[in-house]
Amino acid sequence: MSTGPSGTNLEGEAPVAESVVETDEATITDDAELERTLGIVGGLAIGIGTMIGAGIFVFPGLAGAEGGTAATASFAVSGVVALLVALPTSELATAMPKSGGGYYFISRGLGTLAGTVVGLSLWLGLVFATAFYLVGLGFYALDALALVGIGVGANPGGIVSALAVVAGIGFTVLNVTGTENAAKLQNGIVALLLSMLVAFLALGLFDVLGVTGAAPSGGTEADRWAALPILSTAALVFTSYLGFAQVATVAGEIKRPGRNLPLAMIGSVLIVTVMYVVTIFVATSVFDRTQLGTFGETAMVEIGRELLGLPGAFVIVVGGLLATMSSANASILSTSRAIYGVSKDALLPRWASRINLRYGTPHVALGMAGGPVIVLAATREVQLLAEVASFLHLIMYGLICVALVAIRRDEPEWYEPEFRVPGGPVIPVVGAVASFGLIAFMDPASIVVGGFVILATAGWYLYYARDVTLRGAL
Amino acid sequence: MTRVLVPVAVLEGESVSPGLVDLLGTVDVTVLGYHVLPEQTPPDQARLQYEDRATDALEDLSDAFRTAGGAADHRLVFTHDRQQSIDRIADEVDAKALAVPGITGDVERVLVSLSGDVAVDRILSFLTELVGDRDIGVTLLFAADTEDAAAERLDTAAEQLRSSGIDVTTTSVVGTGPSAALIEEASSHDAIVMSERAPSFSSLIFGEESDRIAAASVGPVLVVRYEEGLDT
C-alpha cells in the first residue's frame, strides 16, 4: 500500500510522512540524507550492553532462591522466548529499517490502536526497566561502599533508593548535556564486561564441576525442578532479555541493515543466553536456595567471594556497577527514541520530540524518560519493576509476532524483507503464544499494574489520536 | 568536468568566503551541508526540526558558486560521523578534491605542497584546471631531507605548470616536517592545495592532517583526494 499515514490528533497535528529511499549507507529523503553510522559491533553492543546488566548481576539471588539449580532452566526458557521473538523482529526490521522498532512494525501492521498501546507502553516499559536497572545499580553501589569499608548505617534500603535516584538524575542530565560521543565508551564497557564474565565463569565452572568439595557448608535445601516455579521464575527474569529489541529502535542508524540487524539481534540473544545459563548454573551450584535468598540482589558478590576470595567479590562489584550503568544508560536512550517515534506519528504532541538548541539533544523526550524513572527507582521494588517492564515488553513482543503474520498475509507491495524467518507462520505463532503465555506466570500485582498501563494507553488513543490512521502506511 | 566537494557545517553558521567561491569558479562544486548529532539524537529527529533552515542556507551557497562560474549543486546530511558522510558523498559525486572552507579574500597566490609520498600528477592536473587562464600564482613547496631530492621533483613539476602558462615559484625546505613547512609558508599565501594521504596512525591520533593545517593557516585548504591502488 502506498498511501501514507493520515488523520490528525486532538491538537490538529498530522503524522509526518514522506517517501524515503533506504540504502545500505543512508536513508535518503526528498531534501536530506540520514547517515547510517552503526556497524555490527555497535549493534551488538547496544543489544548486549542493555541486556547483560541487571539480568546477570541482580537475578541470581532472587531466581536461585525460587528454584535453586532449576533456575538455570528458567533462564533457558526466557532465552528461547526471546529468540522466538528476535527472529520475527529481525524480519520486520529489515523490511522497515527505521527508528521506532517494535512500535513502528505494529502500528503499520495492526493499526493505530495497537500502535498507540505499544508505542506508549514501550516508553513506559523502558521506564520500568530503567528504574529496575538503577535499583540494581544502587544495591551494587551499596556493596561497593561496604567493600571499601564505608559503613551503610541503620537504613541501607534508604541509601539504595538515594543512590538509584542520584544515578537516574545523573544519567538524564548527562544525556541532555553530554555531546561527546559515548558509543565507543559503551563498546569498551561491554567488551570489558564480557571478558571479565567469561574469565570468571570459566573459573567458576571449573570449580563447580571439577572440585565438588566446593559445595556450600550451609543449608541443603533441594532444588525445585517443577514446571510452575521454573515458568514463574522465567517470567520474572525475562527482564534480562529486553535489550535485543532496543537494537530495532536504532534500526535507522545501522549500516547494511539487511545483514546487521538480524545478526545484532539474534547474535546478542544467543550470546547472553549462554552467559546467563552458565552464570545461574555456577551461582546455584555454589549456594543453595536459602543462602541465595539471604544474599538477595547482590548474591553474585558472595559467589565471587566464595570462588575467588576478596578479589572475586571486588571484580563482581565493579562488573555489577558497570553493567547496571550501561543497561540504565542504553535504556534511557532507547526511551527517548521510543517517544520520538510516537510523537512523529502524532500520537503524542509534537513538542515531545523537540531538540535542544544548545546541545542538539532531545531534552523533552529525555526528561519524559528520566522523570518517571527517578520516581519509580525510589520505590526499590525490584521484583515489581522487573515484572512490569517484562509485561509491557511481552505485550509488544507478542504483537510483533502477530504483526508479522498479518503483514505476510497481506504481503503489501513495499514489504521486501532481506531476512525471512524460515518455517512459515510457525515461529511467529509460537513466539506470540509464548510471549503472552509467559505473562500468565507473573505475580498478580505485576499483572494488575501492567494491565492498568495498557488500559491507560488505550484510553489515551481514544482521547487523543482516534482519527490518526497508520495501518499499512510505510 | 572536475568536481570539488565543499563540506560545510551548515547549521553551525559555517559559510564559504567569497575568495574561495571565486577560486572554485573554474570547477563544478557540490556543497555538502552536514550536521553532526550526538548519539542521543536520531538523525531523523534533527532533520524534522532543521531541514528547512539548512536547505535555505545551502541553496544560497550553491547559487553563489553557480554565479562564480561552474555548475553547483548541494546535498544535506544529518549524521553521527562527519568523516564517514564526507567520504561517502565524495565517492558518490566522484569529487577530485575536498575543500576545507577558511577565510580568505581574493586569491592571488596558492601554496601547493608536493612533500611526501603523494600523487604529484593528480595534484598538478587538478591545479592546472583550477587556475585555468586566470592570473593566479602558484608556489610549489617541498620539504625534504636533502636539497637535491627536492630540486628534482620541484623542477619537473614547475616545468609542467609553466607549459600551461602558470606563474610558478618553488620553495624547498630542508629539515622541517611537511606540515610544519606548510604552515610556516601559509601566511604569505591565500589558499593551500595539498594531497590527501592514505589513512595513517597519526591521522587516527591527531585527526586529519588537512583539518589541522586548515586550523593553523586560517585560509581555505583544497585536498586532492587519495585514490586507492594508485601508483605514485
Best A16, A33, A256 member to test B by mutation, with max B CBs in 10 Å, is: A33
Q: What's the confidence (pLDDT) of residue B21? A: 94
Calculate mean pLDDT across residues A15-27.
85
- Quickly state the pLDDT bin for A179 (edges 50, 70, 90): low
Query: For residue range B171-182, what is the model confidence (pLDDT) as tens digits?
Result: 988 878 888 888
Q: What's the confidence (pLDDT) of residue A196? A: 87
- Quickly state the pLDDT bin for B222 (edges 50, 70, 90): very high
Burial of B23 (0-12, 13-18, 19+ CB in 10 A): buried
B164, three cell numbers: 600551461
Phi, psi of A162 (to 5 degrees): -60, -45
Q: In chain B, which residues have their Cβ closer than 8 Å to the Cβ of A355?
A: 41, 45-46, 49-50
Q: What's the confidence (pLDDT) of residue A1? A: 40
Q: In chain A, which residues have their Cβ closer than 8 Å to the Cβ of B41?
A: 355, 360-362
The whole model's pTM is what?
Answer: 0.88
Q: What's the confidence (pLDDT) of residue B230? A: 43
Which strand (E) or helix (H) includes residue A41? Answer: helix A40-67
Q: Is the four-CA dihedral A247, A33, B89, B9 of positive or negative sign?
A: negative
Q: What's the confidence (pLDDT) of residue B198? A: 63
Q: What is the DSSP-derived secondary structure letter of residue A223?
A: P
Calculate mean pLDDT across residues B16-40.
93
Give the three-class secondary structure for B97.
Answer: strand
- Quickly state the pLDDT bin for B231 (edges 50, 70, 90): very low
Q: Measure the CA–CA gap between A68 and A285, rounded to whole angstroms.
A: 8
For residues B7 and A243, the model is more confident at: B7
Calculate mean pLDDT across residues A319-346.
89
Q: What's the confidence (pLDDT) of residue B200? A: 61
Closest chain B CA to residue A344: B45
Calculate mean pLDDT across residues B194-221.
75
Query: For residue range A89-118, what is the model confidence (pLDDT) as tens digits?
Result: 999 999 988 877 889 999 988 999 999 999
Chain B contact present for A175, CB below 8 A: yes
Q: Measure the CA–CA gap between A233 and A390, rounded to whole angstroms.
A: 12
Q: What percent of chain A has pLDDT over 70?
A: 95
A112, three cell numbers: 493505530
Of B38, B45, B77, the CB nearest to A35: B77
Is residue A128 over pLDDT 90? yes
Q: Which of A92-96, A179-183, A248-252, A331-335 has the lowest mean pLDDT?
A: A179-183
> What crossing angle do the helices spanning A112-147 and A444-464 adopt, rounded to 10°?
140
Which of A443, A321, A426 is closest to A58 using CA atoms? A321
Q: In chain B, which residues have their Cβ closer than 8 Å to the Cβ of A173?
A: none
Q: What's the confidence (pLDDT) of residue A329? A: 86
**Is residue A316 within 8 Å of residue A279, measured between CB atoms?**
no
**Is residue A36 within 8 Å of residue A24, measured between CB atoms?**
yes
Tell me the average pLDDT of chain A. 89
Residue A462: CB atoms within 10 Å: 10
B46, three cell numbers: 534533527
Q: Measure the CA–CA gap between A472 and A111, rounded to whole angstroms.
A: 8
State the pairing for strand pair A33-35/A26-28: antiparallel
For residues A309 and A221, the model is more confident at: A309
* Encoded amino acid at A183, one letter: A
Q: What's the confidence (pLDDT) of residue A118? A: 94
- Tally of CA atoms within 13 A in the half-sphere of A111 that contains its CB: 6
3-state SS track over B33-96: EEEECCCCCCHHHHHHHHHHHHHHHHHHHHHHHHHHCCCEEEEEEEECCHHHHHHHHHHHCCCC
Q: What is the DSSP-derived secondary structure letter of residue A38?
A: B
Segment 96-125 of chain A within 8 Å of chain B by CB: 98-99
Of A35, A344, A353, the CB nearest to B79: A35
Phi, psi of B86 (to 5 degrees): -60, -45
Is residue B229 over pLDDT 50? no
Of A26, A32, A333, the CB nearest to B51: A32
Of A16, A33, A99, the CB nearest to B76: A33
**Is residue A248 within 8 Å of residue A50, measured between CB atoms?**
no
Q: Measure the CA–CA gap between A434 and A430, rounded to whole angstroms.
A: 6
State the pairing for strand pair B97-100/B221-224: antiparallel
Q: Is the four-CA dihedral A354, A358, A361, A367 of positive or negative sign?
A: negative
For residues A286 and A152, the model is more confident at: A286
**Is residue A180 within 8 Å of residue A313, measured between CB atoms?**
no
Query: For residue range B45-73, what is the model confidence (pLDDT) as tens digits?
Result: 899 889 999 999 999 999 999 999 889 99
- Quickly state the pLDDT bin for B214 (edges 50, 70, 90): confident
Q: Which of A255-264, A446-455, B17-26, B146-155 has the lowest mean pLDDT?
A: B146-155
Calculate mean pLDDT across residues B110-135.
90
Calculate mean pLDDT across residues B139-158.
84
Q: What's the confidence (pLDDT) of residue B219? A: 84
Measured CA angle at A395 (ends A66, B44), to 5 deg: 125
- Quickly state the pLDDT bin for A267 (edges 50, 70, 90): very high
Q: What's the confidence (pLDDT) of residue B199? A: 61
Q: In chain A, which residues have their Cβ closer than 8 Å to the Cβ of B75?
A: 33
Q: In chain A, which residues have their Cβ closer than 8 Å to the Cβ of B46?
A: 355, 360
Q: Measure the CA–CA gap between B167 and A395, rounded to whole angstroms.
A: 74
H-assigned helices in chain B: 18-23, 43-68, 82-92, 120-131, 147-162, 178-186, 201-206, 209-217
For residues A252 and A224, the model is more confident at: A252
B28, three cell numbers: 563544478
Of B45, B54, B79, the CB nearest to A37: B79
- Quickly state the pLDDT bin for B228 (edges 50, 70, 90): low
Calculate mean pLDDT across residues A55-79.
91
Calculate mean pLDDT across residues A29-58.
89
> In the sheet that A26-28 helps form, which strands lie side by side, from edge to edge?
A21-22, A26-28, A33-35, B72-79, B28-36, B3-9, B97-100, B221-224, B191-195, B109-113, B137-144, B168-174
Residue A339: CB atoms within 10 Å: 26
Q: What is the DSSP-derived secondary structure letter of residue B186?
A: H
